[in-house]
Amino acid sequence: MKAALNLVAKMLKDEQGGEVLEYALIVGLIVVAAIAAITSVGTKVLAKWNSLNSSM
């Protein structure tokens, strides 16, 4: 447990770790936005597909 705490303390002191964290947060936000967009578009496409299917 002490080794894990030392590792976390070392990462907090290291400035490069902050850059990696920032990049990870940016990538995470992009992924969340992409999932939201795909879900929204997918729902509309499915509704259109069902509409076309029922009209045939």
What share of the chain has pLDDT > 90, as a percent? 29
More confident call, 10 vs 16: 10
The b/e string for 24-42 (b: 16+ C-beta within 10 A; e otherwise) is: eeeeeeeeeeeeeeeeeee
Q: What is the pLDDT of residue 31?
A: 95
pLDDT at 19 over 90: no
Query: Rounded to 10 degrees, what is the CA torsion of 19, 20, 23, 24?
Result: -140
pLDDT digits (tens, 9 = 90+) for 26-49: 999 999 999 999 998 988 888 888
Prediction pTM value: 0.54
